[in-house]
Amino acid sequence: MLRATKYDGAEHWVQPFRVLADDGNLLVTEYRARTPIFTSRGEFRSPYNSRVYFWRDRWFNVFRLSRPGCALALWYCNVTTPPTLTGGELTYVDLDLDVCVRPNGCIELLDEDEFEAHQRKYDYPDDVIRAAEDAAREVAELARRRQFPFALG
Ligand SMILES: [Mg+2]
């Protein structure tokens, strides 16, 4: 299971996954559409198949979302602490900021207000704030340059 928490350890997002590849840094996983996902806002079934890219040294992940039988829909990138995979459990802290990338090249930074509010609520250290802001910029730049994993098709 993938277990994302907020900064205080509260469960935020729990999702089953299958490992497709793992080179020790880059971990590629897969989630099938309609499989239950447990979130702090209730159970949720995504209409999308996801291929998810995690790097153990990066402060973001990338969900490549596509409807079953259809071409790519979008990439949804979450700013998080670097993930840890232990005994089949993939864990990280969600740091609110998200970057949505569409195939037409539209790149949108989301949840800045939540990031702002949670800096105060959870008292994020300065280095965490800086790492999160850098990560949002870094993933948007990769998308702008169409670098891995933002290939069309
Ligand atoms: Mg968010």
Q: How many whole angstroms from 132 Cα to the centroid of ligand 1?
A: 12
> What does the domain layout of the chain look like in residue ranges?
2-144
Burial group, residue 46, by CB count within 10 angstroms (0-12, 13-18, 19+): middle
Q: What is the pLDDT of residues 9-65, one digit of tens each?
A: 999 999 999 999 999 999 999 999 999 999 988 999 999 999 999 999 999 999 999
Q: What share of the chain is helix, strand, coil (3-state, %, to 5)?
A: 20, 45, 35
Which residues have C-beta under 5 Å from ligand 1, the single-atom ion?
Answer: 96, 98, 111
Peptide bond into 149 cis (omega under 30): yes
Q: How many whole angstroms from 8 Cα to the centroid of ligand 1?
A: 15
Options 1.10.3720.10, 3.40.50.2300, 2.40.380.10, 1.10.287.130; CATH for 2-144 is 2.40.380.10
Average pLDDT, the chain: 95
Q: How many whole angstroms from 141 Cα to the centroid of ligand 1?
A: 19
